[in-house]
């Protein structure tokens, strides 16, 4: 179908005999902003790892349509090591390494890319700072810049707001929405914080090993499946917000 960017068909993922994801199917379209939700241990990270090609499909398949340039922000990116010496600019530049050959020297063009994304995420002034001297929210922007510097068309984030306060969460989701709208980046975010995320996403995937719900977020709010979801959502606040 037109603009389909990713299709997942009858996907099952097992660790040994343990079934982490069972027979799920869905399609994602260019420009979607998808929230993946579900209780602890429901298979969310496992699904992301399979999309990223880090683990093999036990059964079923994952297909990308057209060119897929993936950007990834893993869980627990925050650096709490006070002595970690790397500077913001260096960390962001490492996002370009996978595109480079065996001689991993940065070019002038690479640093133009780094500076452009630093400016876009409003952290250009921090470029010579040590990562460990930054706040959690600033660090998260740096790691987002690293994920974005290679110009991905699909950005995958695993619980990116875990260490952020409510204001910073909103801020991060707002930045992602901007990338989604202005640069047409398809965004996939795993989160426990549907209350905030719900203001930004257009689709939701609710996983409990099996697929409980997949579709428009607005439809989820009025579905029977929302009754299974344990974190509170303020429907009045969210309904008009998309
Ligand atoms: N490397 C692994 N080896 C064996 N079992 C694993 C491995 N990683 C995850 N599991 C199991 O697979 C299931 C799904 O785990 P997964 O981490 O994908 O869930 P999750 O929804 O991301 O959880 P959380 O919200 O706690 O991050 C769980 O039962 C987990 O214990």
pLDDT in tens, 141-154: 899 899 999 989 99
Distance 74 CA to ligand 1 centre (A): 14
- The answer to whether 231 touches 35, Cβ cutoff 8 Å, is no
Instruction: Specify the length of the chain in residues.
Output: 242
- The rounded mean pLDDT for the chain is 87
Model-level ipTM above the cut of 0.90: yes
Torsion of CA 20, 24, 26, 28, to 10 degrees: 10
Q: Ligand 1 pocket test: which of 42, 191, 207 has the largest number of ligand atoms within 8 Å of its C-beta?
A: 42
Going along the chain from its start, the domains and CATH numbers come out as: 1-68+154-242 (3.40.50.300), 81-152 (no CATH)
In this prediction, residues 235-241 reach a mean pLDDT of 42
Tell me if 68 sits within 8 A of 57, measured CB to CB.
no
More confident residue, 155 or 78: 155
Tell me, in angstroms, the distance from the centre of ligand 1 to residue 18's CA. 10
Cα–Cα distance, 24 to 26 (Å, whole number): 7
Task: Measure 93 CA to ligand 1 centroid, in angstroms.
Answer: 31
* Angle, vertex CA 180, rays to CA 126 and CA 52, nearest 5: 85
Residue 43 phi/psi, 5-degree rounding, is: 105, 10
Atom of ligand 1 nearest to the CA of 159: 27
The predicted pLDDT at position 226 comes to: 86
């Amino acid at each position: 179908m037109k603009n389909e960017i990713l299709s997942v068909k009858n996907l099952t993922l097992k660790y040994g005999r343990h079934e982490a994801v069972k027979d799920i199917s869905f399609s994602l379209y260019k420009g979607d902003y998808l929230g993946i939700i579900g209780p602890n241990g429901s298979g969310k990270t496992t699904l992301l790892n399979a999309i990223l090609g880090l683990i093999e499909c036990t059964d079923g398949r994952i297909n990308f349509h057209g060119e897929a340039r993936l950007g990834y922000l893993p869980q627990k990116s925050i650096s709490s090591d006070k002595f970690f010496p790397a500077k913001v600019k260096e960390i962001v530049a490492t996002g370009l390494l996978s595109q480079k050959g065996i001689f991993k020297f940065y070019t002038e063009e690479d640093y133009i890319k780094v500076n452009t994304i630093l400016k876009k995420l409003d952290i250009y002034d921090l470029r010579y700072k040590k990562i460990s001297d930054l706040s959690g929210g600033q660090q998260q922007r740096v790691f987002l810049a690293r994920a974005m510097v290679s110009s991905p068309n699909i950005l995958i984030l695993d619980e990116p707001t875990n260490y952020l306060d409510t204001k910073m969460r909103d801020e991060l989701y707002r930045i992602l929405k901007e990338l989604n709208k202005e640069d047409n980046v398809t965004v996939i975010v795993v989160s426990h914080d549907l209350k905030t995320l719900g203001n930004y996403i257009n689709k939701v995937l609710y996983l409990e090993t099996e697929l409980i719900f997949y579709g428009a977020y607005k439809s989820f709010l009025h579905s029977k499946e929302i009754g299974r979801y344990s974190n509170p959502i303020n429907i009045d606040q969210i309904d008009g917000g998309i």
